[in-house]
Amino acid sequence: MKNAFVLIVAAALIAAGIVGGYFLGKSRTATAPAADASAPVGSTAPASVAKARKLLYYRNPMGLSDTSPAPKKDPMGMDYIAVYEGGEDGDESTPGSANEIKISTEKIQKLGVRVEAAELRQLEKVVRAVGRIEPDERRLYAITPKFEGYVERLHVNVTGQVVARGQPLFEVYSPELVSAQREYAIAAEGMQALKDAGPEAQSGMKQLAESTLLRLKNWDISEEQVKSLAKSGEARRTLTFRSPVNGIVTEKKALQGMRFMPGEILYQIADLSAVWVVADVFEQDIAQVKVGAKVKIRINAYPDKVFAGRIAYVYPTLKAETRTVSVRVELANPGGLLKPAMFAQLELPVGAQGKVLTVPDSAVIDSGTRRIVLVQLRQGRFEPREVKLGARSDNYIEVLEGVKAGEQVVVAANFLIDAESNLKAAVGGLGGQAGHDSGAASSQEVSSVAGGHHAEGKVDSVDGKAGSVSISHGPVASLKWPAMTMDFKLANQTQLKDLQPGAAVSFEFVERNPGEWVITSVKPGATGRSEGKPASPASNPGAAHAGH
């Protein structure tokens, strides 16, 4: 009886264990994470996923451009940060590649970054030049007697008077002229008297008459006056000079009763029915200027008129003082509107042959030795690329190498991106250097990229709310500034940690707007300097390379 009872109790315990195990297993299955239930076959744990990511390099924890293929520590004992392919999740300051910059969406909006696609377009450039109206040198005439004499009478007595071809200008008296006329008259009478004489006598008298007549013609005596002299045999006391062309008297030196010498210019007449426009074209544009090209000309005196002409000549020499080459345009001037010495603006449209790949001119950062364009890889990711440039228009530049059609390039806030990221280090990656911290401030050499200036000084006061700081700095050689105390704006609030009152600092700054100077990077400066007289880099070589 006792054995039977023991068997019954054992069976009950076994049954209870089976039922409890069933319900316990069902409960665990129902509460298991959905991710585990949906995980594909062959998936690994997160730790193994991290191990599968490709390690690129280890970057400096302070944002310097120094990288290492193996783990190490910086001089301050901080570990270098690992950078994996595709970037570190949750770390906005880590680029995904050696020369890639990452900026958060919030900062992009604050900086006002704007991008535009590189496109194929035909460059339409207008070469502009300033010129002046000048008389046509081929239409200038000088009235110059070839003998000595006196001005007997003036018919045209004012400069600027309009004269017609053949119009009398002035009359002159010359003893030489009267003597030559009498010699010719005597020779002509002698030929008549010796017409019955021998051949030798006639030949001698004829030669005398011809030589006298030739001398009169060489003195510009008109054919009409010569015939009248031969017919009447009477010498005229005065000789009349007439205008050789329709034009305007631009110069008058003749005065009533004055004596003149052979070769002296008494009048100068210009035919202004056609004029020249001589303009100075800058050296970089002269290759696009061709003879025969159409030109639009505007004159300040006639703002509603546009004169059309063609380039007739490109002068062969360059003016070293202005680095310009003169070009000449010939214009008809029937109404006399164009007057010598007027200023003129020339517009010469220059079209490219076919479409070329272009970017806006504001997209190019020119350091003097390299031309850099910031390409947006994706939202918040930028890559600096060195480009080779070609022709230029007013707003666009041809890109020969470095950018492909359709790629988005930064066209606004370039220097502000430089302030938010170590662009110098990223650009260095193009030449073999890799990696940087985009949240770090630029190095001292940022001025070569963003056109900034370097200074050292002492912080007087800081206004965190206004984002400004007052610094007593030393001389700034790039701006020719003496030592002074002035206020600066801050590119971002992270710079406040290095700008404490009384701190010696070394900083870079740019002019964002006229009179608005913005600090783009700041580093602790050298100590032990007198107030208002920052130590120069020469006196403290380590100051220019102080750590962040």
Query: Tens digits of per-residue pLDDT, 107-120?
Result: 777 777 888 899 88
List the beta bridge partners of residue 20.
none
pLDDT for residue 25: 44
List the beta bridge partners of residue 329.
277, 311
pLDDT for residue 324: 93
pLDDT for residue 207: 79
pLDDT for residue 260: 94
Domain 274-351 architecture:
Beta Barrel (2.40)
Helix (H, G, I), strand (E, B) or coil at 290: coil
What residue type is assigned to position 423 of the chain?
L
For the chain, list residues with pLDDT below 70: 1-53, 61-65, 76, 85-99, 193, 196, 198, 227, 230-233, 351-353, 414-451, 526-548
* 452-545 belongs to CATH 1.10.10.60: no
Other CB atoms within 10 A of residue 489 CB: 15
pLDDT for residue 222: 74
pLDDT for residue 365: 83
Query: Tens digits of per-residue pLDDT, 405-447?
Result: 989 998 887 566 655 554 544 555 444 433 333 333 333 333 3
Global pTM exceeds 0.75: no
Please classify residue 278 by burial: count the beta carbons closer than 10 Å to its beta carbon, then call 0-12 exposed, 13-18 middle and 19+ buried: middle
Other CB atoms within 10 A of residue 273 CB: 15
Strands across the sheet containing 267-270 = 140-143, 267-270, 247-252, 162-163
